[in-house]
Each structure stands twice: as structure tokens, then as C-alpha cells.
Amino acid sequence: MPKAKYEPLLVHMLSLVFVAAFASVQAMGQASGTTPIDKESIASEVRRYYDGVRKISNLHITYKLKHQHVAGAKRFGFSELDVVNGSRGEKYRTEITYKAEGKDKQGSGHRVCTWNGRVGMSMVEDNKHIDIQPHPDTLVFGYRYYFDYLGSADGWALVSKYDKLAPPDKTFWVPLALAEHAVSYQLLANKEKVDGFECHVLERPGHDKLWVDPQRGFMLRRRELYFPNSNQLRERIVARAEQLTEGAWLPRTITRELFGGRDEPKDTHNVVTNRFVLEVKNISTNPLPDSYFLLEVRDGVTVHDKFRAMQYLKLSPKDDPITASLEKAQRILPEKRGHLYLLLGIMACLVANLILARYVHRAWSQC
């Protein structure tokens, strides 16, 4: 048989062998749970992690936030906070109970604020004053550290929409940072361990460095933020003791360290000045009702209504003259009901007699 006759058959057989070998390699890769290791795929998995977190419709987290001043100027006036962060879609609630530091700030206090997407309400320490305004409370909403870690722009970024003193830093929230500076991030060749967990490392030189754990859904294990275009550390975040919640790994401990700023003495540069340790007490995904995102205005509370630029006191029924008068009338009415019925009966008889007299007079006239 001529040689040319066998060539198409030989080529066809070789192509089948190549396809089969390629398919087997792909199958082995899928069976072992491996994924292509390149910058784009790692960044995509990290964004997928944060998308999964965002899909948790109801998230209620209770945690203790401890603060330690290590060096440099004191920038925070508390040593310990009990924080409750609640979220459902675009509705949020933050509640803090704190212990103050300093000679003029001894003792503790309590603040609550809510935001239902349209109305912001906040209550100060004495529970006798409530602010109603068209934006969130610009102080309490800063204490959404857990949601900030989760890559949510619903914490301080939400406040920055209404507070000119808090310009938005979009590079702080990981999903936005990866989206806006995707080209600048580099995937380091070697993995690095964080608390014994091997992590991929994404770095934006002079700005940001991320350690993500592929064994925990690419959750963020560690992050270092730098002052722009420098090697001077601004902030470090380390997450530990994760918990699987609604298909997403959420940390139960977060350590956040702040370093000396550019306006501070040089001996504080790249030195930890303040340390925050967040310890989660409870994570719940039970449904949160609409009433959770509004504050109850109780009797005796002064309301500062910034929608209508007015202030008023919510009175109890006994102190409200109009309500008191209505209640008195309601109490008197049953006692006088018999006399009222008698009066109505007499009036009905008079009307009937007048009608009858008019009819008799008309009939008499026709006779």
C-alpha cells in the first residue's frame, strides 16, 4: 500500500492520543482540586470570596474590640468596646458600649445608630436624645471594623459620602482595590505561611500586600498597607480562627495594627503605635426585621429632627394635654350615656309629633 495512504490515518491517530492525554491531565488536575496559578485567577478567586460574603443577606455579629496604645501620640480615647454590627442588604445597625480612657474620660458610655437606606437615627449616652437625619451617624458608623475587613464599603465609606472630613479611600476595601488597580498587583512566585497556613501573596509595590488562603476559600489572612509610593507601613491586618458561615469562611479574631504616620516623629515610622484586637463572640445569619433598623422613640425623649429642622419632646399620655383631654372625654362618656339616650329619645318624639301634626292639619284642610 502506498505511503501517502497511511499518512492521514497516522495523523488522525496521533491527534486522538494527544487529546486523550490532555483530557487525562485536566481530569487529574480537577480531581486533586488544583487551579491554574496566575495573578488573574488568584484575584478572581479573591473577588469570588467577597461576592460570597456579600450574598449573606442577614449578618449579625457581636464582638469585643480591645485597644492598646503602644507608642506615639494617643489618637483613640477608649480601651475596650463591646460592638454589635447588624446588616441586611442596605440596612445597617451599629451599637457600641465603651470604656473610656484618660483623666477626663473615666467611665463608660453607650451609643446606637441605625440606617435603613433612607433615615439615619442615633442615640447618645443618656438615652434621652435621638437624632433623626438623612445620613448615618458619622461617629458610630466608623466602628464597623468587621465589615471593613470583609471588604464592604458600607462602613466608613458610607459615612464618607456625607462627611467631608472623611474622604473615601477606595484602596482600603480589597474588592475595590483589586478592581481599580488590577494591573498593578503582582503574584509572588512563592507561597508564604501565615500562622501555619500557606498563602498566595498579591503585592502592589509601595501600596498594598495581600496574603490569601486557598484552603479557606481565598479568605484574607493578612494584609499590609503602605503610605502611597513608599515602604513606610500604614496598617497591618491579620485574621485567625475562621468559621464557615453560609458557605463563606469568616474570621473570629482580627488583629489590626496602625503604624506611625508621616506627620509623626521618624522614630515611629514602621513602628506599631496602636493595636486593636477584635474577638468575635457570636455570628448569626437569622433574619433581621425592619424594626431592628429603626430606634424606638420613647416617652420623655427629645428628638432632634434634622429633616424638618426642628426639635421636640415626645410626651407621655399623662403629660400630653390633648391626649389627656381625649382620655377624660372617653372616661366621662359611659357615665353620661343613659342621659344621652334619654335626650335623643325626647328629641325623636318631638320630631315625630311635629310631622304628625303637620299631616293632620293638611288632611283637615282638605275636608
- What pLDDT digit, counting tens, does each position of 341-363 carry? 666 667 776 776 677 666 555 65
**Average model confidence (pLDDT) across the chain:** 78
Q: Residue 359 falls within a domain, yes or no?
A: no
264/184: higher pLDDT: 184
Together in a domain, 301 and 322: no
pLDDT at 290 over 60: yes
The DSSP annotation for 333-366 comes to HHHTHHHHHHHHHHHHHHHHHHHHHHHHHHHHHH
Together in a domain, 128 and 190: yes
Q: Which among 86, 90, 87, 106 is positioned nearest to 98, based on CA atoms?
A: 106
Together in a domain, 267 and 189: yes
Confidence at residue 289, expressed as pLDDT on a 0 to 100 scale: 94
19/243: higher pLDDT: 243
Together in a domain, 223 and 121: yes
Together in a domain, 116 and 143: yes
Q: What is the mean pLDDT of residues 310-331?
A: 68
Q: Residue 163 falls within a domain, yes or no?
A: yes
Q: What is the mean pLDDT of residues 56-82?
A: 88
Q: What phi, psi does 148 have (nearest 5°)?
A: -60, -45
Find all residues with CB under 8 Å of 109, minimum gap 6, and list them.
97, 98, 100, 125
pLDDT at 76 over 60: yes
Together in a domain, 240 and 339: no
Together in a domain, 104 and 153: yes
Together in a domain, 213 and 292: yes
- What pLDDT digit, counting tens, does each position of 179-233 carry? 888 899 999 999 999 999 999 999 999 999 999 999 999 999 999 999 888 889 9
What CATH number is given to the structural domain containing 258?
2.50.20.10
Q: Residue 2 falls within a domain, yes or no?
A: no
Count of domains forming the chain: 2
Share of the chain above pLDDT 70, in %: 68
Together in a domain, 217 and 138: yes
CA–CA dist 232, 76 (Å, integer)? 22
Provide the 10 A C-beta neighbour count for residue 99. Answer: 16
pLDDT at 37 over 60: yes
CA distances from 50 to 44, 244, 277 (A): 10, 14, 22
Q: Domain range for residue 339?
A: 318-351
Together in a domain, 325 and 293: no
Query: Which of 40-44, 329-333, 337-341, 345-349 has the highest average model confidence (pLDDT)?
Result: 40-44
pTM (two decimals)? 0.72
Together in a domain, 203 and 342: no
Q: What is the mean pLDDT of residues 287-299?
A: 91
DSSP state of 50: H
